[in-house]
Amino acid sequence: MGEQNAGKLNRLLAELGDTSLVSSRWLRAHGYSNSLVARYVGSGWLVSPARGAYMRQGGRLQWEGVVRSLQAWEEMPLHLGGRFALTLQGHEHYLRLGDAGTITLYGPERPPGWVGMLPLKERFAFLGKGPFDLPAVPFAAEVSESVLAGQGLVWHRAGSGAEALVCSTPERAMLELCDGVSDAARVYEADALMQAMTTLRPQRVGLLLRHCRSIKAKRLFLALAERHRHAWLSHVPLEGVDLGRGKRALVPGGRLHPTYQITLPRDLDEHLA
């Protein structure tokens, strides 16, 4: 191998580390031809866990590395949100059995096809842009906490020594979760999670409510917060929040919430732990 190619290989291996992946698209864009990549694979320097994706030989394939690669290497505005974001932040014991293995990604761009072909025990679910009209921001390493906070996002480290990933704050994650509610079982889950949301920040809740396009998500979020008498709710600025008109029948035969005009299951209390 020539000195120039050896240097390129060493730089690539150093940047990849133990858990990152890189796509064939990224490699081509950064001067690594298909034939050169094939040579790296043939020499045992790189392995391909799925068609179109590569990592260093001996690297550890983990979901955290996949998400970090999408955010940092592919520069895709995809964040961990909804149910899985709440799992990361300590609320996994409220989730349905088995859901902790579903990693929910939100953003304006669908993840590349190789993500779904990786041999991981977890699976990725892409849930689209979500209910907000906030502009997407690239998740480069230099993005500040304050910029992310304006989106209801935060840097989160999944474990000791792990690289930071962009994740929904509990305020945004709860609204994302409420947006996906379509039946009584999902209402029970959202209600159990909302019971634990005792420390939400009212100004951030107000900001996200103003930028949320889903009437259902906003009404359900507020109805559940009122139901659990959270102290922060009275401090949420609701000026400019569009809650729509008329009644919303979320579950058939449910009880209409008098303030937010959305039906909730009559047996909610029976499903709380």
Would you give per-residue pLDDT tens digits along the chain (273 residues)? 555 566 788 899 888 888 899 999 999 999 999 999 999 999 999 999 999 999 999 999 999 999 999 999 999 999 999 989 998 888 765 545 445 578 999 999 999 999 999 999 999 999 999 999 998 877 766 778 888 999 999 998 866 666 789 999 999 999 999 999 989 999 999 999 999 999 999 999 999 999 999 999 999 999 999 999 999 999 999 999 999 999 988 888 889 999 999 999 998 888 765
Q: Do 87 and 156 belong together in one domain?
A: yes
**H, E, C per residue of 58-85:** CCCCCHHHHHHHHHHHCCCCCEECHHHH
Euclidean distance between CA atoms 265 and 269, whole angstroms: 9
In this prediction, residue 223 carries a pLDDT of 97
Residues paired with 256 in a beta bridge: 263
Determine the distance from the C-alpha atom of residue 99 to the mean position of all C-alpha atoms in its chain, rounded to a whole number: 14
Q: Do 106 and 7 belong together in one domain?
A: no
In this prediction, residue 4 carries a pLDDT of 57
Our count of domains for the chain comes to 3
Q: Do 113 and 189 belong together in one domain?
A: no
Q: Do 142 and 158 belong together in one domain?
A: yes
Phi, psi angles (nearest 5°) of residue 15: -70, -35
In this prediction, residue 160 carries a pLDDT of 61
In this prediction, residue 98 carries a pLDDT of 46
Euclidean distance between CA atoms 167 and 164, whole angstroms: 9
Euclidean distance between CA atoms 88 and 105, whole angstroms: 13
Residue pair 154/145 in contact by the 8 Å Cβ criterion: yes
Residues 6+ apart with CB under 8 A from 184: 251, 254, 265
What range defines the domain where residue 10 resides? 3-56
Residue pair 250/264 in contact by the 8 Å Cβ criterion: yes
**Residue among 234, 232, 223 at smallest CA distance from 258:** 223
Q: Do 84 and 115 belong together in one domain?
A: yes
Q: Do 184 and 97 belong together in one domain?
A: no
Q: Do 163 and 186 belong together in one domain?
A: no
Q: Do 138 and 118 belong together in one domain?
A: yes
**This model's pTM is above 0.75:** yes
In this prediction, residue 97 carries a pLDDT of 44
Q: Do 163 and 211 belong together in one domain?
A: no
pLDDT, tens digit, for every residue of 151-207?
A: 999 998 866 666 789 999 999 999 999 999 989 999 999 999 999 999 999 999 999
Tokens of 49: 């866990």
Q: Do 109 and 186 belong together in one domain?
A: no
Q: Do 195 and 250 belong together in one domain?
A: yes
Q: Do 128 and 184 belong together in one domain?
A: no
